[in-house]
Amino acid sequence: MTSLRDVSERIGQEGLAPPVLPFLSTTPGLFRVLLFQPQGVIVATDTSVRVRDRDLLARQMNAFLRHASALSVDLAACPEYSCPWISLREAIIDGTVPAEGKIWAVSCESISRAELHSVIDELTPHCRIVLDWPPASANGEFLDCVCFLFIARDAAGAEVTTMLVQFKTCQMGGETYESEHLILGETIYRFGDAGTNRLVGLLCSDSLSQKFMDDVVPELRHDTLVLHLQLNPHGENARFRAYRDACCNEKPRNSEVLCLNWAKGTQLQTDEAGVLKDVDLIVEPRTILFRPDEELDATDDQVVKNHKRGCYLTYLKSYRTAAYVFSPDSQLFAFKTSKPMIVGAGSIAIRSGIIMDGRYEWTGNDWGRAAADAKDRFEEYWSKDAPRLEPYLTQMRQAPLDGERLIQLSTGRGVEPRLDDWKSLGSFRLCNDDTACRLQLCWSTKGEGYDYRASCRADFLGFVFAVENAANFSPRLTAFKENEYTIGYRSSPGLHHRNLHIQGGPSATAVFLGMAPASEKLSRVKSELLKRIADVAQDQELIAIWYRDEAGELKDHMDQQTPAIFDDPRRNPVGIDDVTP
């Protein structure tokens, strides 16, 4: 059984007033977030789920909580099973707790009932602990919980450090460490009041429960930030994200989902016939913020600034959702973002999306602010075994989004009317398996996003081979056979769909569509390019649509149709276009 319970009602039973969390108000403004994405080897037994190197993770967690306090963030969070209890106990005893108006969602390593009773006894002199125990009859050996730390006030108005403990309500499926040993809770808590923004925390497979889908999800569709804390190798699974489908399809759209997982490289210790072995558990973290695609700062400048700090904008088109994908490596992410619902004058009630403040890397003793750009693996992927691509990657380094536009156009994928609109670029798509198509995000080794990027790379390499040989140019492009030209994306009006440029002379469009493309693809790319060039009143003859036939011979589709003569004065009277017999 899973139920949603308002925090105000629950802590009222303890004689406490609900916490005042300004970031849940609907007034315009940004709130600050700090996320910890840890890495380690998970050891799961019949009695516990913990990281093997608890000492290292405890030091990292202690430093994370200190940073959350020093930065005075509105919301700090770490993923499922991550915080060693010793770190949380020491922080509370030492007074390293959130200030009033702030909240920390601290997901702890597993704990038995008896161990949790001992923690409560130890911490009671230092904070008020509120929880709804699972039924005494519940089977299992350990609990999985997230502890919400915040300041409440008692009847006399005095500040009370409060820890609200929420237990996982649904175990992971299959033959996992939870299926037979996890003690299930029954309550999911909700912060905030009607008419304000709400905050709801989920622990991984909470979202698998049908009771959750039937009774809780309808309450998440409006004015809510859902914080989904996970240790999950398959966050893309349809059942895990079914609740997201409901939240993202609602109108008006004012709910957001923040998924936080462990870092790439996290492993699971297994026992194979008595031999201990570490196997990869998290390959694609899928730490992502899903929010509406309207009213966000998606200028090239802001997208690139966020990119360098480990946060990458993508587009989940089917849900009209902006999806901010975070770097897969272990680090802290500090950012500001707008609230799910804002009420106010139109000029200021704007939801801007994420603005990265910075990221922090582990130095051995503390989390230090990273000076270098986040590792997107661009260099090693695009340059590997393809030295001929190197000269063409300069634009990707100097102007990353223009570089993506160039590759999209040069491979026939950038034929939409607005290449300057990030949502129109195929490379900005977030796929159904939550992998990103972004050409610069090269950590994936499989998935739909990886396949898209690999296909773009192969076709762009084919484009380079074709464009470097002047003999491949049709007589229609004689000027480009006889003169020097540059290859690049131009943001100037009228040149968005031109990638070949003669200084002081004409510009042209050349694309490569790969090996033996379908006739429908050839016709579609040709039709769309002719429209784009006609829209800016340029010469439609200066187009090459290359591909290789099944024998490997290079062809230009623009040379394979009979010219048609049009009476329309707005069109080139000898424009080469498809002719219907």
Domain presence at residue 568? no
Same domain, 128 and 64: yes
Quick one: 339 and 430 in the same domain?
no
C-alpha–C-alpha distance, residues 158 and 151, integer Å: 10
Structure confidence by residue, pLDDT tens digits, 237-270: 988 989 998 888 777 778 999 999 999 999 999 9
Based on the fold, state whether residues 347 and 465 are members of the same structural domain. Answer: no
579 pLDDT band, cuts 50/70/90, is very low
Q: Cα 355 vs. chain centroid, distance in angstroms?
A: 14
The single-letter code of the amino acid at 485 is Y
Helix (H) or strand (E) holding 148: strand 145-153
More confident residue, 427 or 297: 427
Instruction: Give domain status of residue 577, yes or no.
Output: no
Same structural domain, 353 and 430: no
pLDDT tens-digit readout, 454-500: 999 999 999 999 999 999 999 999 999 999 999 999 988 889 999 99
Which range (48-52, 294-298, 495-499) has the least confidence? Answer: 294-298
How many domains does the chain divide into? Answer: 2
The CATH number of the domain holding residue 230 is: 3.60.110
> Strand 75-83 relative to strand 103-108: parallel, antiparallel, unpaired?
parallel
Phi-psi region of 147 (alpha: psi -120 to 50; beta: other; left: phi over 0): beta
What is the pLDDT, as a whole number, of residue 388?
Answer: 87
Together in a domain, 346 and 425: no
- Give dist(CA 94, CA 459) in Å, integer: 58
Is 480 part of a structural domain of the chain? yes
Write out the residue range of the structural domain in which residue 90 sits: 3-40+53-263+332-363
DSSP H or E run through 164: strand 159-167
